[in-house]
């Protein structure tokens, strides 16, 4: 979600920067953060379901929206097996 009045810019290294109001204030989704989130969410998705497809979906979600994916994974119990019926 982008803050009202904010704009998104691609940084010099491909990171996504959200500029809010004053151009000096930015929120950085650096490639490093996205890569770490990708790896952590892939691990979470695989350990939770045992499925490579879910691992891939979680990894893509983690890379695209680390601010959303990580809290959701923690709320689910990071890398804890999903309950079976």
Predicted model pTM: 0.65
Tell me, what's the pLDDT at 50?
94
Backbone CA torsion sign across 35, 36, 41, 46: positive
E-strand stretches of 1-85:
6-10, 16-20, 26-29
pLDDT digit of tens for each residue in the chain (85 aa)?
555 555 555 555 555 555 555 555 445 567 888 899 999 999 999 999 999 999 999 999 999 888 899 999 999 999 999 875 5
Backbone CA torsion sign across 42, 44, 47, 49: negative
Tokens of 46: 């695989």
């Amino acid at each position: 979600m982008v803050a009202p009045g904010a704009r998104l810019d691609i940084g010099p290294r491909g990171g996504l920067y959200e500029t809010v109001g004053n151009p000096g204030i930015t929120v950085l989704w650096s490639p490093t953060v996205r890569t770490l989130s990708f790896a952590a969410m892939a691990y979470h998705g695989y350990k939770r379901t045992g499925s490579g497809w879910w691992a891939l979906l979680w990894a893509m979600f983690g890379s695209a929206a680390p601010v959303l994916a990580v809290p959701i994974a923690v709320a689910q119990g990071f890398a804890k097996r999903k309950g079976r019926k």
